[in-house]
Amino acid sequence: MCGIVGYVGKDEALPKLTKGLKTLEYRGYDSAGVAVLQNKEIYVVKDKGRIANLEELLKHEHIKGNIGIAHTRWATHGVPSKENAHPHMDDEKRFAVVHNGIIENYLELKDFLIDKGYTFKSQTDTEVIPLLLNYYYKKEKDVLKALGKTLQDLKGSYAILVISPLLGKTILAAKKNSPLVIGKNESGIFAASDIPALISYTNEFYFLEDGDVALLNDTITFYNDEFKPIKKKSKKIDWDMEATNKNGYEDYMLKEIMEQPEALKNTLNGIIGKKIEFLNFSLDKDYLDSITNIHIVACGTAMHAGLSGKYAIEKLCRIPVTVSVASEFRYQDPIINAKTLCIFISQSGETADTIAALKLARDKGAVTLAITNVFESSITREAKYTIYTHAGPEIAVASTKAYTSQVGILVALTLYIKEIRDGHSKESDKLKEELINLPKLMDVVLADKDIYKDYAKRMYKVRDLFYIGRGNDYNIAMEGSLKLKEISYIHSEAYPAGELKHGPIALIEDGTFVFGIATDAKVEEKTLSNLEEVKARGANIVLVADKEEAKDMDIIKIPKVNPILAPILAVIPLQFIAYYIAKEKGLDVDMPRNLAKSVTVE
Ligand code: F6R
């Protein structure tokens, strides 16, 4: 959610900034801008729209300089517009600032500054930062002191980069509750919201903690929140740059759908043997026997994976599991304590609500476990334990391979808990075998691309679409429905199959498409009856199931597996159909409107 990047070094800053911005574009694409220091003056170019638009504008400018900062925006305060685009500056052009996060007390600060004679050009919360810097600089005559005073005034979250003619060839960086990484190579020093933005320049990174400040020039100087110099060790990240390319695919989403078998294989690699073992994570029998419940917290697709985790844990381990949407968790006064195992799922590891929920659970004494896909992401620094999914970088805004990897790791975790509490059983050995075999079955489902494309051609003009199922199939329905809405902009709803006749069935009319998901023999007949009910009201049914045929219904057949594992297979046709519908409509599937990949504000 908003991406920031900065460079100071021997080379021209602009190409490095725009390249960095392009890899950050998935974080937001409402507007973009750069500020470069040239001959002791700050030059800003910014506008509404995507980075390609900014690049066009830059072709007509002749900005040169070895130090600059840049931003791609997901609007929180103020519409997407040139005025609201970052970088923001004070009137005297002393400070240019890019910011990711939300300044929660910006109205109060704005009033304070207006009272002191300052005027605002934008509706953003960010603009208070350069103006406060200006105000405090005038009082203190010292940029670092001005920064310290400014940061003290800010409530909320921020990752900021600042350039100033007063500083010369130095970038100021500061962070609280928003991600910021710093990298270094022989050409210079970089700062950015995430690792992929910098991975083509360096694989050695420094991670700022909340409250940290850094001065980037020929070297990097770190300070803690009391402005005392601190030392930091860099960490090597072995990411394959290739993984961040489209590799010949038309879109990242298509590439990532196709990568799912490999992503699951990599995620499970080394975990499942005779015993299940995780790297740097273990729980003992005494602890697992002592817990009274498990609470899973996440947002969006990760929350849907969590629901399938609940299904698996309750079925196999008989431990009560609650799943909460992270943004609700904090405000529902959750009943958790030292006897609750709290699991937080986040592909990016940066989702503000999920991290805030984790901190709350930790404060209440619960053991916290993060499941994330991004190495060294913020969540890993807050949780007691971390388990990584190894799905590789997920760039498309709509989550696909992260979801199937999350469900896979949750099943592995379920088996781990079960085996520690109850010992080995034939049932758990069989499930382990099925889990390991899943990537091959995913290949089978992926091979039917053309069939899914045909469905999309039949459906892309509809106004509404429905997804129904029972048990774990309902969880799959929710994920299918979310994929469709977010990239095709078609209204869709998921319902427990038995719930339709309590109201929503009134929405069904002649020709309405309804997906039925039926992968669990125990409830299949019931789901089929519910599908009959909507068919009787004119609906077209598409059944995703592990059977060959059903009367008067189209069937998408998937291989038969334990219903605990079914989401990993059954979601694939739904991902594809959402994808092809969006393509039929000529939409940008990788960067759907109003969305951003990493939701770093609450
Ligand atoms: C949907 C989607 C979002 C994310 C949600 C959580 O396709 O991508 O719903 O799942 O924003 O993001 P993470 O997992 O990064 O915490």
**What is the DSSP track for 438-453?**
HHHHHHHHHTTHHHHH
With contact defined as beta carbons under 8 Å apart, do 295 and 364 qualify?
A: no
CA 599–ligand 1 middle distance (angstroms) = 8
pLDDT(353) > 90: yes
All structural domains of the chain, each given as residue ranges with its CATH number in brackets, are: 3-239 (3.60.20.10), 246-444 (3.40.50.10490), 449-584 (3.40.50.10490)
Instruction: Tell which one of 301, 304, 374, 590 to mutate to probe ligand 1, the residue whose CB is within 8 A of the most ligand atoms.
Output: 301
Closest residue by CA, ligand 1 atom 5:
300
Indicate the helix (H) or strand (E) that contains 108: helix 106-115
**Nearest Cα residue to atom 9 of ligand 1:** 300
CA distance 322 to 346: 17
> What is the number of the ligand 1 atom nearest to the C-alpha of 347?
14
Token readout for 363 is: 């404060």
* Contact status, residue 483 vs residue 580, Cβ threshold 8 Å: no
Cβ burial of 314 (10 Å; 0-12, 13-18, 19+) is middle
- Say yes or no to pLDDT of 478 above 90: yes
Once rounded to an integer, what is the mean pLDDT over residues 424-429? 90
Residue linked to tokens 């709509």? 398
How far apart are the C-alpha atoms of 484 and 121, rounded to whole Å?
Answer: 38
Contacts of 169 (CB under 8 A, 6+ apart): 8, 37, 66, 67, 217, 218
Distance of CA 246 to the CA centre of its chain: 19
Average pLDDT over residues 54-60: 88
Residue 221 pLDDT greater than 90, yes or no = yes
Ligand 1 center from residue 109 Cα (angstroms): 32
Ligand 1 atom 10: residue of nearest CA: 301
What 8-state DSSP symbol labels residue 177? B
Confidence label for 197 from pLDDT (cuts 50, 70 and 90):
confident
Yes or no: say if 255 and 249 are a contact pair by the CB < 8 Å rule: yes
d(CA 225, CA 213): 7
pLDDT at 4: 94
Torsional class of 98: left (φ above 0), alpha (ψ -120 to 50), beta (otherwise): beta
For the cut 70, the answer to whether the pLDDT of residue 241 exceeds it is no
> In the predicted model, what is the mean pLDDT of residues 50-67?
88
Cβ proximity of 515 and 554 under 8 Å: no
Q: Which atom of ligand 1 is nearest to the CA of 301?
A: 10
Name residues contacting ligand 1 (CB within 6 A): 299-302, 346-348, 351, 354, 398-399, 482, 486, 599
51, pLDDT greater than 90: no
pLDDT tier for residue 65 given thresholds of 50, 70 and 90: very high
* Among 16, 19, 401, 597, the one annotated catalytic: 597
Q: Which atom of ligand 1 is nearest to the CA of 351?
A: 16
pLDDT per position as a tens digit, 288-339: 999 999 999 999 999 999 999 999 999 999 999 999 999 999 899 999 999 9
Given a cut of 80, is residue 27 above it in pLDDT? Answer: no
CA atoms of 192 and 551, how far apart (whole Å): 56
Within 10 angstroms of residue 244's Cβ, the number of other Cβ atoms is 18
317 counts as catalytic = no
| Residue 403 alpha carbon, nearest atom of ligand 1 | 10
Average pLDDT over residues 227-249: 84
In the predicted structure, residue 200 carries a pLDDT above the cut 90:
no
**What percent of the chain shows pLDDT beyond 90?**
79
Rounded distance from Cα 177 to ligand 1 centre (Å): 18
Please, are residues 345 and 339 in contact by the beta-carbon 8 Å criterion? no
Q: Looking at residues 509-526, what average pLDDT do you find?
A: 94
In the sheet that 96-100 helps form, which strands lie side by side, from edge to edge? Answer: 88-89, 96-100, 158-163, 171-176, 213-216, 220-223, 229-230
Give the H/E segment covering residue 70.
strand 67-73
d(CA 222, CA 136): 21
CA of 259 to the centre of ligand 1 (A): 18
Amino acid 34: pLDDT: 96
Pocket test for ligand 1, best of 297, 354, 492, 599 (most atoms within 8 A of CB): 599
Quick one: average pLDDT of 522-547? 93
Annotation marks residue 2 as catalytic = yes
Asked if 317 and 413 touch (Cβ cutoff 8 Å), the reply is no
